[in-house]
Every structure is written in structure tokens, then in C-alpha cells.
Structure 1
Amino acid sequence: MKALIDLILQFGVLNKQQTDFILSKAKTLDMKKDEYFSEAGKVPRHVGFVLEGVFRFCYYNNKGDEVTNYFVDEGNFVVDNEKFESQIVASEYIQAVTDCKILAFSKKDWDDISNTIVGFEMIKSNVVKKCLTLAMERRSPLVSEDASTRYLSFIQNFPSLVNRIPLSFVASYLGITQQSLSRIRRNIR
């Protein structure tokens, strides 16, 4: 819970009463590996702050192949923000890659926080901006780099994930086959 408040306080000043109010709206949720936090075709119901574990954003392309788009680990928010805020149907899945523990906020509770704490909308906006910028910084180089360089970038950007998630998800994220990833890993060692 301290990690959540520390993150929020990077983007604004809140007093103890306000931070206590935020925490009072959070519900601790345990999720098992492979469970979905949000599903394509459904309206996202929660925003979560990851206390333990790893999530991935994924979708199915027009060939029916599963594509991993992004990973979220401890100390970060997990949400399809645009769909959650607009309360429209999601086009991606958010799946627990490991057993996870999160602080979850319903849409109503998330809105209550914004409506109660003056300036919280700006804090949320800045948190979202930071998350989107980080995602872009991590994804952009993947377009122009060769597979080995993409893997090395992945290790640099997600150092704590390499040994925690299945190689098939890493390969999908990098846009290569699992066999290619195995070959790259052998050559790097």
C-alpha cells in the first residue's frame, strides 16, 4: 500500500486524510496465474495497482495468433485506461502471467476518489502520461531493431521479468517465434 501512495505522491501533494481515503477505497485482490483481470469483449470493471506478480496485455490478430503487447509488474497500475474511463468494451485481454496480488478500485470508487480529492484528476492524468510514455519508450525500438537487439532491449527494460514469464510470451512480445528466441538466447550466453 505504501508503494501505491509513493507513486501517487510523485505527481501531487496529498495529506494523510486524503491518502487514507484512497486506501479505504482499495480492495486487495489475489489472482491466480492465467486468470483475466480484464477481457476483450467486456467492459473493464477495475483499475489495479500491482503489489505482487506480472500481467500481460494481449490480443488475437486476424490470423488467430495470440500477440503479447505489453507487460506490467509490481509498482505499476494495470488497466485498459481508455476503455475503463469510457466504460466501453475492451479489445485486449489483461492476463495474470504469475500469481498476483493487486489493490483494485471499482469504477465507482475510482470516480469517488476523483470527485472527493481536489486535484486527483490531474494526478491521474500525470500517472497515465508517465505509463504511456514508458510503454512507448519500451515498444518503439522494437519496430526497427533486429531480433537479438530486441531481446537485449527486453532484458534491459524488464530485468525482473526474464525468469518469471514463459518464453512463449517473451517471443510473442518481441514478434519472433519461440524457436528463434531460444536460438538467440543460446548465442548470447
Structure 2
Amino acid sequence: MENLINYLLQFGQLNQPQIDLVKSKVKVLELKKDEYFSEAGKVPKRVAFINEGILRVSYFNIKGEEITKYFIDENNFAVDLSSYTQKIASSEYVQAVTDCSLLIFSTESLSELSITIIGWDNIISQITSKALFEKVNKLSPMLAEDATTRYNDFLKKFPTLANRIPLSYLASYLGITQSSLSRIRKNIR
């Protein structure tokens, strides 16, 4: 819970009664590896803060292939933002890559915090802006680089993730086959 509070305090001030209110609105959810936090075809009704573990966001392309869009690790929020805010069915899956401990806010809890805490909406707005900026920075450079460069960039940006996620997910994220990823890793050593 302290990780969540420390994260929120990076984006605005909260006094002790407000912190206590935030804590009272959070539920703990333990997800086992491979379980889904949210699924395509459903309207997201909750937002997760990842206390421990890694989630991945994926979708199925028109060929029926599962594509990993990105990973979300500790001390970050997870939600299909556009589906959540527009209250429409998601086209993405959010799945636990490892066992996860999530701190969950329901839509109702977030609404209550918005009404009760002055400055809450500003905190959420700043967190959302940061997340969107990071998402663009994760995806944009990958479009123009070769596979080896994409892998090396991934290792630089996310040094702790590479050993915690299955190679099949990493290969999908990088847009290459698992055998290509194995060759690249072998050549780098």
C-alpha cells in the first residue's frame, strides 16, 4: 500500500485523512501467472496499481495471432484507458506474466475519490499523461529499428524485465519469431 501512496504523492499533495480515504477505497487482488485482469469484449470496470509482478497487454490480429503490445511492471497503473473512460468493450487482454499482487480501484471508488479529494482529478490527469507519454515512447522507436536494435533497446529500458518474462511474449513484443530472438541473444553474448 505504501508503494501506491508514494507513487500518488509524486503527482500531488495528499494529507493524512485523504491518504486514509484512498487506502480505504483499495482492494487487494492476487492474480496467478497467466490469469487475466481484463479481457477483450468486456468493458473495464476497475483500475489496478501493480504492487508486485508483471502484466502484459495483448490482442489478436486478423490472422488470429496473439500480439504482445507492451508490459507493465511494479509501481504502475494498468487499465485499457480508452475503453475504461468511454465505457466501451476493450479490444485488449491484460494478463499476469508472473504472480501479481494488485491494488484495485473500482469505478465507484475512483468517482468517490474524485468528488471528495480536491486535487484528485489533477493527480489522475498527471498520471494518465505520464502513462501515455511512456506508451508512445515504448512503441514509436520500435517501428523503424531492426530486431537486434529493438532487443538491445528493450534491455536498456527494461533491464529487470527480460529475465522475468517468457521468450515467446518478448519475441511477440519485439515483432519477431522466438527463433530469431534466440539467435539474437546468442550473438550478443
Give the alignment's TM-score, normalised by structure 1.
Answer: 0.98
Deviations along 1:91-133, whole A, 9 cap, x unmatched? Answer: 1000001110010011111111111111111110100100111
* Residue in structure 1 matched with residue 25 of structure 2 by the alignment: 25
Q: Give the aligned residue type for 2:59.
A: Y
* Residue in structure 2 matched with residue 105 of structure 1 by the alignment: 105
* Residue in structure 2 matched with residue 162 of structure 1 by the alignment: 162
What's the Cα RMSD here?
A: 0.8
* Residue in structure 1 matched with residue 150 of structure 2 by the alignment: 150
Supply the distance in 2 between the matched residues of 1:164 and 1:105 (Cα, whole angstroms).
26
Supply the distance in 2 between the matched residues of 1:141 and 1:102 (Cα, whole angstroms).
30
Supply the distance in 2 between the matched residues of 1:40 and 1:23 (Cα, whole angstroms).
29
1:165 positional shift:
0.6
* Residue in structure 2 matched with residue 125 of structure 1 by the alignment: 125
- Mapping 1:22-61, distance limit 5 Å: 22-61=22-61
Contact kept? 1:59, 1:68, Cα under 8 Å: yes
Contact kept? 1:38, 1:45, Cα under 8 Å: no
Contact kept? 1:34, 1:98, Cα under 8 Å: yes
Aligned pairs, number:
189
Supply the distance in 1 between the matched residues of 2:40 and 2:2 (Cα, whole angstroms).
31
* Residue in structure 2 matched with residue 64 of structure 1 by the alignment: 64
Supply the distance in 1 between the matched residues of 2:118 and 2:85 (Cα, whole angstroms).
18
- Which aligned runs of 4 or more in structure 1 are off by greater than 2 angstroms? none
Supply the distance in 2 between the matched residues of 1:81 and 1:139 (Cα, whole angstroms).
16
Supply the distance in 2 between the matched residues of 1:26 and 1:167 (Cα, whole angstroms).
33
Q: Give the aligned residue type for 2:103.
A: L
1:62 positional shift:
0.5
Local SS of the residue matching 2:62: coil
1:11 positional shift:
1.0
Mark the runs of 5 or more structure 1 residues left unpaired by the alignment. Answer: none
1:80 positional shift:
0.9
